[in-house]
């Protein structure tokens, strides 16, 4: 290790080397080329801090067989992104902007997210702000204490075999200041009167302290084993995370570093509710999370990394997770693989439908009048307001409309302009929405063949049906056939999964508009519906998907009499006016009969386009 003395050692000035690396590894300590002052930050400052000041490089050297999880090709861009966000946040604070910084790092297990983002980045941020207060949070207190213990070991000089920290910045442990397992005040702090510790800890099982930190970092707030136990555990996690908001300073940093488990886990809920400002790393594989806030209009800055690139099927860091291990994991537990490796809950190989397949179903609304022969429409509703329990759970009342193809191909068209849902509608508000939908369909000259709904329970069967009939008649509309199905319990999942299979087979087309650039415009409620369809096992609310599944119920769906896909060797339904039908029923001329008998002309009724065999 370095001896730290200001002398020449074999022709090498160690003090100059220390000064150089101390400047490289700290924010706002690198020399500005124009002014000559130490007011800039080296472009790879955080990378070198982790590599040398923290000691990751020496850790790997001391363990020759240890897998090197820190890879420049992967962690270089990620740490550059993280460094830029920290510096931008610091600059925002210096300018007096009372704006919080929301940062989410969603990364596969064993890829070093806790070391890089929670331990190293939070310590790196202290190097130019000695009075900063950082609160470290996790699922349980023991895990958070372990994170703080690592930081304390490095800054107190107990890890001189691997870390350069104390050689570069001195020993930060002061015997005169509090230094506990749960919190500490380090020696680098300039203002002794600040009550908040330099580093403090809490967890879901403890609750939030009364302090107001500058930086709050949540590191894997969910424990998988406790999640399996069910009950109110997940809500207790959400409550603990939400307690961060009133505690954090108004210009503070709120970070979450985690792996995904459920659609409604901490990341899922907050990215959906608060929205995403920027998305970096790998492409978001579940665009339908932006059902409420469009991408770019939210607050969270996200860096996303999967264990396997879904486009190329290539492992991200094969040094840690190679192709053989990936295959075994997928086979052993595809659902767990989708969560912990791909950070995409509900996307395992058992899922009947994925997002790429859904995109193949998009159809332009412009074709509706010209090329898509529609026979009629069916309206499918989910009336959550009828049950107090569903209201308490936040379930949506929903309306979904499908058009049915006039041909015998079984294809239905999702009318995305009329997909509607809300968890706040009362009975009369829902009725207003339904009547508006029915009037729009009548205005477009489409016949509504049926309305489907869920059967009431507890001796109330038929009550809402009569109310529905009265409401439609009161609006002076024709009353279509009203069909009620049983949807409760596990049968809901089975129905949606079966319907998703029909989507995967191509029996659904999704009608959408395009913008001026030719890009599909996917309305928020349609995003929500598709998200529920493709991620059946991960989403909490399934009301839109539940209503949409009714379109494939017996008596509603017209089963195909041939393959709906067109192509070589497939029979294609014909329409009046098609060229192949123009000569049917027209008598042959004498010349045509002679040519047929002489073999010079093929009988038009025996061509591939139209023959009794083909028709069958």
- Residue range 283-314, pLDDT digits in tens: 887 776 787 788 899 999 999 999 998 767 79
Lookup: tokens for 238: 């959400």
CA 1, CA 430: separation in Å to the nearest integer? Answer: 72
- Who contacts 306 (Cβ-Cβ below 8 Å, separation ≥6)? 108, 282, 285, 316, 341, 342, 343, 344
DSSP H or E segment with residue 89 = helix 72-94
pLDDT at residue 610 in the model: 37
Cα angle value 468/471/475 (rounded, 5°): 140
Element (H, E) at 400: strand 397-405
d(CA 277, CA 296): 4
Domains and CATH numbers, the chain: 21-139+209-305 (3.40.50), 355-552 (3.30.420.320), 580-615 (no CATH)
Q: From CA 81, how far away is CA 297, in angstroms rounded?
A: 19
Query: What is the pLDDT, as a whole number, of residue 551?
Result: 95
CA 589 to each of CA 581, 583, 586, 592, 593: distance values in angstroms, whole numbers, following the listed order: 18, 12, 9, 5, 6
8 A C-beta contact, residue 211 and residue 200: yes
* Beta bridge partners of residue 179, listed in sequence order: 184
Spatial neighbors of 227 by CB under 8 A, at least 6 apart, are: 233, 234, 261, 262
Q: Which two tokens stand for residue 82?
A: 């993280």
Answer positive or negative: Cα dihedral of 369, 371, 375, 378: negative
Bridge partners (DSSP) of residue 513 are 521
Residues of the chain with pLDDT under 50: 1-8, 564-572, 605-616
* Whole-number pLDDT of residue 605: 45
pLDDT at 598: 65
What SS3 state is found at 472? helix
Q: Which string of b and e fits 543-571 if b means at least 16 CB within 10 Å?
A: bbbbbbbbbbbeebbbebeeebeeeeeee
pLDDT of residue 462: 66
DSSP lists the bridge partners of residue 362 as 510
Q: Which residue has the tokens 């806790």?
A: 114
**Coil, strand, or helix at residue 468?**
helix
pLDDT at position 285, please?
Answer: 79
Whole-structure pTM value: 0.69
- 237 CA to centre of own chain: 19
What's residue 614's pLDDT?
A: 36
Contacts of 251 (CB under 8 A, 6+ apart): 92, 93, 97, 98, 99, 100, 214
- Both tokens of 597, joined, read 């008998």
Strands (E), 559-601: none
How close are the terminal C-alpha atoms of the chain, in Å? Answer: 85
With 0-12 / 13-18 / 19 or more C-beta atoms within 10 angstroms meaning exposed / middle / buried, residue 32 is exposed
List alpha helices for 203-290, DSSP H: 224-229, 233-242, 244-247, 266-274
pLDDT at 596: 62
The C-alpha R_g of the chain, in whole angstroms, comes to: 32
Question: Distance between CA atoms of 27 and 38, rounded to whole angstroms?
Answer: 10
User: How far apart (Å, rounded) are the C-alpha atoms in residues 190 and 178?
Assistant: 15
Q: Which residues share a beta bridge with 481?
A: 450
- Between CA 117 and CA 522 the distance in angstroms is 34
Q: Give the three-state DSSP class for 22.
A: helix
pLDDT of residue 9: 54
């Amino acid at each position: 290790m370095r001896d730290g003395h200001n002398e020449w050692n074999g022709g090498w000035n160690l003090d100059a080397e220390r000064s150089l690396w101390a400047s490289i590894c700290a924010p706002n300590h690198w020399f500005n080329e124009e002014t000559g002052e130490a007011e800039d930050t080296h472009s790879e400052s955080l990378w070198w801090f982790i590599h040398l000041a923290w000691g990751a490089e020496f850790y790997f050297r001391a363990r020759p067989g240890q897998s090197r999880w820190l890879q420049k090709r992967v962690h270089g861009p990620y740490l550059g992104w993280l460094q830029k966000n920290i510096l931008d946040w610091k600059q925002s604070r210096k300018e007096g902007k009372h704006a919080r910084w929301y940062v989410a790092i969603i990364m596969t297990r064993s890829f070093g997210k806790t070391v890089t983002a929670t331990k190293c980045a939070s310590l790196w941020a202290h190097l130019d702000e000695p009075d900063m207060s950082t609160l470290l949070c996790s699922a349980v207190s023991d895990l958070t204490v372990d994170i703080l213990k690592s930081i304390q070991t490095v800054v107190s000089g107990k890890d001189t075999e691997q870390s350069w920290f104390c050689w570069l910045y001195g020993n930060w442990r002061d015997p005169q200041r509090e230094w506990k397992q749960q919190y500490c005040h380090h020696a680098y702090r300039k203002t002794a009167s600040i009550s908040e510790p330099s580093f403090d800890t809490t967890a879901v099982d403890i609750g939030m302290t009364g302090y107001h930190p500058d930086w709050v970092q949540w590191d894997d707030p969910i424990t998988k084993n406790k999640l399996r136990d069910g009950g109110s555990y997940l809500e207790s996690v959400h409550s603990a995370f939400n307690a961060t908001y009133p505690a954090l300073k108004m210009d503070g940093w709120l970070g979450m570093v985690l792996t995904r488990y459920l659609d409604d886990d901490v990341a899922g809920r907050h990215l959906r509710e608060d929205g995403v400002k920027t998305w970096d790393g790998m492409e978001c594989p579940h665009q339908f999370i932006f059902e409420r806030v469009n991408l770019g209009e939210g607050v969270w800055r996200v860096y996303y990394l999967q264990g396997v690139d879904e486009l190329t099927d290539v492992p991200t860091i094969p040094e840690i997770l190679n192709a053989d291990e990936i295959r075994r994991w997928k086979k052993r537990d595809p659902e767990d693989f989708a969560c912990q490796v791909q950070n995409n809950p509900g996307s395992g190989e058992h899922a009947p439908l994925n997002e790429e397949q859904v995109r193949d179903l998009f159809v332009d609304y412009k074709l509706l009048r010209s090329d898509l022969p529609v026979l009629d429409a069916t309206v499918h509703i989910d009336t959550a307001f009828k049950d107090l329990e569903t209201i308490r759970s936040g379930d949506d009342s929903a309306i979904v409309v499908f058009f049915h193809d006039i041909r015998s191909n079984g294809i239905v068209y999702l009318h995305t302009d009329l997909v509607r849902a809300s968890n706040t509608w009362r009975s009369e508000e829902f009725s207003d929405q339904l009547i508006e939908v029915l009037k729009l369909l009548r205005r477009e000259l489409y016949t509504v063949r049926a309305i489907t709904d869920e059967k009431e329970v507890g001796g109330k069967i038929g009550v809402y049906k009569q109310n529905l009939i009265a409401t439609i008649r009161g609006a002076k509309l024709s009353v279509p056939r009203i069909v009620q199905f049983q949807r409760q319990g596990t049968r809901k999942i089975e129905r949606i999964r079966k319907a998703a299979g029909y989507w995967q087979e191509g029996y659904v087309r999704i009608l959408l508009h395009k913008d001026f650039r030719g890009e599909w415009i996917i309305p928020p409620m349609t995003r929500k519906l598709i998200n529920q369809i493709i991620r059946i096992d991960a989403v909490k609310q399934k009301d839109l998907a539940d209503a949409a599944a009714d379109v494939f119920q017996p008596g509603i769906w017209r089963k195909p009499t041939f393959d709906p896909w067109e192509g070589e060797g497939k029979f294609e339904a014909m329409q009046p006016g098609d060229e192949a039908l123009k000569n049917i029923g027209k008598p042959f001329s004498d010349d045509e009969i002679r040519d047929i008998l002489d073999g010079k002309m093929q009988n038009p009724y025996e061509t591939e386009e139209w023959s009794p065999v083909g028709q069958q």
